[in-house]
Structure 1
Amino acid sequence: MLILAIAAVAAAALLLARLLLVKRELGRMTEQLRRYNDRATGKKIDLAMFDRQVEALAAQINRQSDLVVEAEARRRRTENELRQAVANISHDIRTPLTSIFGYIQLLESDRLAPEERAEYVAIVKNRTKRLQALLNDFFELSVIESSDYRLKTERLKMTGLLSDILVGFYDRFNERGLVPTIHLPEEEIAVFADESAVRRVVENLLVNTVKHAVGQVVIRFDRQRTSAVLTIVNDAKQLTAADVSLLFDRFYTADRTRSASGSGLGLSIAKSLMEKMGGSLEAELVGVRLTMRCTWKLQAVQPF
């Protein structure tokens, strides 16, 4: 009995000692967390004793700290992007408005010749169309990125659809003196996507190509394992690797990516639509050759 009593006392002593150590460790953790939350240190919680439960608690606290830091970084980034967006929108709207107002003032003059008046009216109309296109693109992008925006996905025969779109751009390529090399498969490749969204994506990419391409243009569509890929390749000597990483950023306002006849949002809209369809849109610069790559998931082949 005496031995059992001694063993019980020893076990109780050990348990008490461990509880005291755990209590002290929790106190250290609390103090470390307080200093971290007060921004007195950036060091995360570390332990001076081995205990699986306490270690698991410390790991979860450190993980929560990481999540808070990431959320704060996202918040700051979103605020910066919003401020930049407001500045860009203000600039893009103010520029055509200022021009329109200036020509209206000129039109108020009684000394204008009829041909001058007609010229100024035409300029005002063009600036107004530019402003209308700009506002429409801003609105469209906001709608597309809304969580409520839904696409009507269906099985699309892409080869025929792309042929139809490319035919519509024949005159635009011809006006720029561009003769694209087009590679479309003889077989029909089907994807699961929204037809109007696909049209908008491809048209936006082609519009961008017509505006900025120099030299040879190669347009290719083919099957790659479980995906269907559309690539548009052209020389882009004016671009740098830094530019390419920002091509799809709606807030990117470098002159080389904007045009007097567009809003500069075409690529952002295209990327958002591709993501909504479960696909992807990427850009890559190798030397002076810019490659735009659209990827859709393949639909299982079935008889039409």
Structure 2
Amino acid sequence: MKTLKKHLIVIFITLTVAMAFLNSIINSVFNTIAENITNEYMMGLALIIYFIAVILVLVIGAILFVHLISKKIKEENIRYNKEKNILFANIAHDLKTPITTIMGFSKALYDEVVDETEKKELLNSIYGKSKRVNELLDLMFQYAKLDGVDFEMKLQELDVGRLIRETIALYYNEFEGKSIEINIEMPEKPIKLNLDNVEFSRAISNLIINAYRHNKPGSKVAVRLEEDDGIKIIVADNGENIDDEMKEAIFNPFICGDESRNSKEGSGLGLAITKKIVEKHGGKIFIDSNIDGYTKGFVVQL
């Protein structure tokens, strides 16, 4: 949508400038001719031709504007439908494996072809796969909701540092389970911004989840809050760096910077959701590979 708006603005400005230029030429030509006309009939005829020329420029400009807008809207619809088809294909791909496992294991239990010692293991697998399906559907719902025309942010003044600390606290066990050291670097004074508590907490959660899910045991993670001409939230780690060509693509749906999605540890939707939330708050998110003591960091700038 933002790309389409930019194209429309560019088209409008370009055509406005072009029409103004043509009208200035018409005015110049008319003034030159009018200086040499002494006959009232010829002057009236010249005025009629002048007004016809001005109207023609206006009509041609309007036709071009409508044509170019229609073309851009058509291109945007084609791009959107292509992205939607890819999204649906990836959703089907990611849902197929756990659903197939659930069907197979539940059929085995129904047919009673497994002994008592294996039942608990199969039930645990069914639960795990069901949880995975539910998580993926929840992410899909979040992503679709953020694209909805009726979606509105519920902004309120919040202490950003407190929000980040509370979010990190939810995942301490996951970091300890993978023996990942997490360092929290926050200023002592409160830093307040107008944020949507639920959505912005979700954005930070996705970055935290990404940090422990895509780093090896023994890694280091830092979460920083900096105030300098706005604020920066940095989630850095000393894991593998991300190639330059992936630094923008990684925020697209179903894209991961490693093999995690193929191994079913990640969905590739978390960072896409985070980007949408950050942009709806008027900010931007990017990857910085020049963070002291760390190989990379996801930076949210507001």
Same fold, judged at TM 0.5 (above): yes
1:164 alignment counterpart = 166
Using structure 1 for the length normalisation, give the TM-score. Answer: 0.73
Higher mean alpha-carbon deviation, 77-86 vs 214-223, is at 214-223
Taking the TM superposition and a 5 Å limit, the aligned residue runs for 1:56-205 are: 58=60, 61-205=63-207
State the Cα distance separating 1:176 from its structure 2 match.
1.9
2:39 alignment counterpart = 8
State the Cα distance separating 1:254 from its structure 2 match.
7.3
Q: Is the 8 A contact 2:241 2:289 kept in 1?
A: no
2:297 alignment counterpart = 291
Higher mean alpha-carbon deviation, 287-296 vs 240-249, is at 287-296
SS in structure 1 opposite 2:240?
Answer: coil
Q: Is the 8 A contact 1:232 1:293 kept in 2?
A: yes
State the Cα distance separating 1:231 from its structure 2 match.
0.9
State the Cα distance separating 1:131 from its structure 2 match.
0.7
From the superposition, tell whether residues 168 and 12 of structure 1 become closer, same or farther in structure 2 (CA, over 3 Å): closer
- Superposed CA RMSD in Å reads 3.2
From the superposition, tell whether residues 98 and 283 of structure 1 become closer, same or farther in structure 2 (CA, over 3 Å): same
Amino acid at match of 1:190: K
Amino acid at match of 1:134: L
Q: Is the 8 A contact 1:84 1:251 kept in 2?
A: no
For 1:207 and 1:253, the matched residues in 2 are separated by 13
Higher mean alpha-carbon deviation, 216-225 vs 281-290, is at 281-290
Higher mean alpha-carbon deviation, 70-79 vs 285-294, is at 285-294
Q: Deviations over 1:182-233 (max 9, x none)?
A: 21111111111122222211111100111113543222101121x2210112
Q: Percent identity?
A: 23
Does residue 1:223 correspond to 2:227, yes or no? yes
Give 5+ residue unaligned stretches, structure 2. Answer: 1-36
State the Cα distance separating 1:253 from its structure 2 match.
6.6
Does residue 1:256 correspond to 2:259, yes or no? yes
State the Cα distance separating 1:268 from its structure 2 match.
2.0
Q: Deviations over 1:114-167 (max 9, x none)?
A: 221211111111101111111122122222322222332211112222222223
State the Cα distance separating 1:54 from its structure 2 match.
5.3
Q: Is the 8 A contact 1:103 1:120 kept in 2?
A: yes
State the Cα distance separating 1:251 from its structure 2 match.
4.4
For 2:203 and 2:255, the matched residues in 1 are separated by 19
For 1:22 and 1:164, the matched residues in 2 are separated by 68
For 1:75 and 1:111, the matched residues in 2 are separated by 51
Using structure 2 for the length normalisation, give the TM-score. Answer: 0.73
**Structure exhibiting the larger radius of gyration computed from Cα positions:** 1
2:245 alignment counterpart = 242
Q: Is the 8 A contact 1:88 1:253 kept in 2?
A: no
1:271 alignment counterpart = 275
Count of equivalent residues? 261
Higher mean alpha-carbon deviation, 287-296 vs 239-248, is at 287-296
State the Cα distance separating 1:240 from its structure 2 match.
2.2
Higher mean alpha-carbon deviation, 113-122 vs 230-239, is at 230-239
For 1:176 and 1:203, the matched residues in 2 are separated by 17
State the Cα distance separating 1:265 from its structure 2 match.
1.7
State the Cα distance separating 1:89 from its structure 2 match.
1.6
1:47 alignment counterpart = none
For 1:124 and 1:211, the matched residues in 2 are separated by 22
For 2:254 and 2:113, the matched residues in 1 are separated by 43
From the superposition, tell whether residues 118 and 53 of structure 1 become closer, same or farther in structure 2 (CA, over 3 Å): same
For 1:158 and 1:238, the matched residues in 2 are separated by 27
Q: Is the 8 A contact 2:206 2:270 kept in 1?
A: yes
